[in-house]
Amino acid sequence: MIVIGAGVAGIYQIKRFVKLGADAFVLEAEDDLGGTWFRNRYPGCRFDSESYTYGYSFSQEILDTWHWKELFSSQPENLRYLNHVADLFGLHEHMRFGVRIASMTWTKQHAHGRSPPRTARPSAPGS
Ligand SMILES: Cc1cc2nc3c(=O)[nH]c(=O)nc-3n(C[C@H](O)[C@H](O)[C@H](O)COP(=O)(O)OP(=O)(O)OC[C@H]3O[C@@H](n4cnc5c(N)ncnc54)[C@H](O)[C@@H]3O)c2cc1C
């Protein structure tokens, strides 16, 4: 199984697949996880909804081990949160960074197989 992107959604998806015992991994174009919260680092970047409404609610372990410091949490803290979740469940080892999916082809022959997708290194800004 392949998950594309290690943002909030991809982190949850890979957690689910790992729990199901699937041979799954995430391919992420950026150099680390976080998606929106990895990419956006401008001053003042933060949630516009209250922090507690944003966190994952599927795991009591996350709820017990993470306490938001601010009502509307800032980007650095949000990125720390996502890394905390990945650490908690050993998800980093299921992630490959610097890999952008260029295209994928579904074929009946490989419907249950492990045909690798075509990948490309992310292009440099402006190129
Ligand atoms: C400043 C700001 C504040 C926000 N505040 C809130 C808020 O308060 N509450 C709220 O609910 N939402 C908020 N959002 C929305 C936020 O984007 C989402 O909550 C959430 O982070 C989206 O997660 P995602 O995993 O769906 O997508 P993303 O975070 O965009 O992650 C997608 C990932 O997929 C990767 N990817 C994409 N295409 C490819 C490819 N072809 N190959 C490989 N990798 C690929 C990208 O590099 C990226 O890392 C905010 C957004 C911003 C920018």
Is residue 125 included in any domain, yes or no?
A: no
Q: For the chain, how many structural domains are there in total?
A: 1
Distance of CA 34 from the midpoint of ligand 1 (Å): 8
User: 47 is in which domain, residue-wise?
Assistant: 2-120
Domain holding 85: CATH number? 3.50.50.60
Is residue 62 included in any domain, yes or no?
A: yes
Structure tokens at 85: 């979740």
Q: Give the chain's length.
A: 127
Is residue 15 included in any domain, yes or no?
A: yes
**How many of the other CB atoms lie within 10 Å of CB of 33?**
25
Structure pTM?
0.90
Contacts for 97 with CB less than 8 Å, ≥ 6 apart = 6, 28, 30, 31, 32, 33
55 CB under 6 A from ligand 1?
no
Residue 81: predicted pLDDT: 98
Is residue 83 included in any domain, yes or no?
A: yes
Per-residue pLDDT of the chain (127 residues; tens, 9 = 90+): 899 999 999 999 999 999 999 999 999 999 999 999 999 999 999 999 999 999 999 999 999 999 999 999 999 999 999 999 999 999 999 999 999 999 988 788 766 655 456 666 655 444 4
9 CB under 6 A from ligand 1?
yes
Residue 120: predicted pLDDT: 64
Is residue 44 included in any domain, yes or no?
A: yes
The angle at the Cα of 7, spanning 38 to 23, to the nearest 5 degrees, equals 130
